[in-house]
Structure 1
């Protein structure tokens, strides 16, 4: 899927079609990938690069928004194929790229060890000398364009977004929510926030969203799934929904069936907002498409509740 300003979305093949995107940016013969999908995604990413007439040696940067495995699971393997590229990642994520052991253990705790091994394979470590820390305000050059790092906690404390000045856009990972193309209507994109475990922080997420929206970008490129416009509307909807997620979590807290209540309330919220958006998908299809997000959002909200109680 090609856009203007030399930006392309590449479906990584993770989970289902139009679920998980890596973005390729090309400028004056130089290239960068934003997020890497999983190990199985790497041949597709290299294939698209070569289809564009570039060799792996033309890639200067592999930009990670954060180290959750659907974004960074294939990073080490991809970097192994890119002889000149540097990996850019939040300082908190550096150790996980150098030694993925803890990253695999954390994912196994959420999804189960068998599922993680089957889905992600064995992660390839990244040599420390090939890593650049994505600190707030860091500026990167790609061809003739400038990319600036924004530290954007809320979804994870090790999350950054990349402002592409030439394209008037951000590459937002998961901070600017999730927007599946199946839900597009005449009103535009449908969007919702992601509170995936384990570092959801609602106030930080709202601040990160507002900070990017204040730059008045023309577009946001989400990992799930790719380009959205009408940024001011979407930002307002995301901030409103973060508060709604918090309210649902607090309402479910203290009940023996907290998790089940929270999953069902999230499905009800998503379904109501999709209907109000003009979505014509059937109720069963909406539920199926959002099942994983409702489950993970519920888990993340529960971690947030428990952490707040222990503080």
Structure 2
């Protein structure tokens, strides 16, 4: 018998303001058709003035808790994946902890950019398997609209704001791949690729900075590394592409999603796609897509789900779980 981290609830939150591609036409040499053809993105959500990452995260957390039939008092740990925390410190996770009425346990942020939620899931799984926590609230939340260069048409049209959350709970499994819960994880990073995707600000500059990306190189690394990490995680539990019910990828670009699915050997009708409505929401991308996939009736109890993501660092990884 083994301990498994099983999904008990899922939820998400998107800011009210919807920004269609056409909104960029007034200030940039771009068009709705140009953006759609290169990214698959049609619209995205931007946080309101004064609405911070912790606010989005709290809304998603409360939705996931309600779905699980739990309250903040039932949670032992909060792990929040984000690159756009409200402050240098304290962590946004501790703000969520206070907002949901959790007065015990612990909370911390994980920063692995777009791969952040995969890293957070792997950490939550390890805490549960080690007996450090019984129930963990895992959140991905971002306000990337605050770190974009709105004169750079190659980047500013790609990103959006949002949050998604899962509640994981310890359950006893058989140790077989038929168990519900997280079955395998695979994490990777390579700091030599730092200059491909980064924000040119921080403590060292005294500025917030804006996002910089070498798009073609990121695309190339993404397709290769995402397929590889998913295969690695599946191999750990003796499963293959034919066993996968749903791939829930990081929603960065429809062409990356399609190319990775092809390399994985999974048809697009088994891939959850939300990039057209949300844009790239970085660490919020996968939990948002999981929540939407459940709401659509795509992801059901017992389904084998593979999530994979890559972000600045470069950092990438995957999680195989049975819903």
- TM-score, with normalisation over the residues of structure 1? 0.31
More strand by share: 2
* Structure with higher RCO (Cα < 8 A, 6+ apart): 2
**TM-score in terms of structure 2 length:** 0.30
